[in-house]
């Protein structure tokens, strides 16, 4: 019942960012709906933005750890 207390803001933001893509996948599986080229491009932008933000966050953590241990 109190699962939302244990979810970080970053994880929740990622879940909300992926919501349109999950909705498109569910529509494809259950209804057979297809995306237009603009839809695929938008999905690519969403996933790409998420991957880049996670990659930059990981690099920042590694740099912070390396600076604190040396």
d(CA 19, CA 16): 5
- Tell whether the model's pLDDT for residue 4 goes beyond 70: no
pLDDT in tens, 60-69: 888 888 788 8
In our burial notation (b when 16+ CB lie closer than 10 A, e otherwise), range 19-43 reads eebeebeeeeeeeeeeeeeeeeeeb
d(CA 56, CA 52): 6
pLDDT in tens, 22-68: 899 999 999 999 989 998 999 899 889 888 988 888 888 888 887 88
Q: How many helices (H) and strands (E) does the chain have?
A: 3, 0
């Amino acid at each position: 019942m109190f699962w939302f207390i244990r979810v970080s803001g970053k994880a929740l933001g990622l879940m909300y960012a992926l919501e349109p893509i999950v909705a498109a996948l569910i529509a494809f599986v259950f209804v057979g709906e297809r995306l237009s080229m603009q839809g695929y491009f938008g999905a690519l932008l969403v996933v790409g933005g998420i991957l880049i933000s996670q990659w930059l966050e990981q690099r920042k953590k590694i740099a912070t750890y390396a600076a604190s241990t040396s």
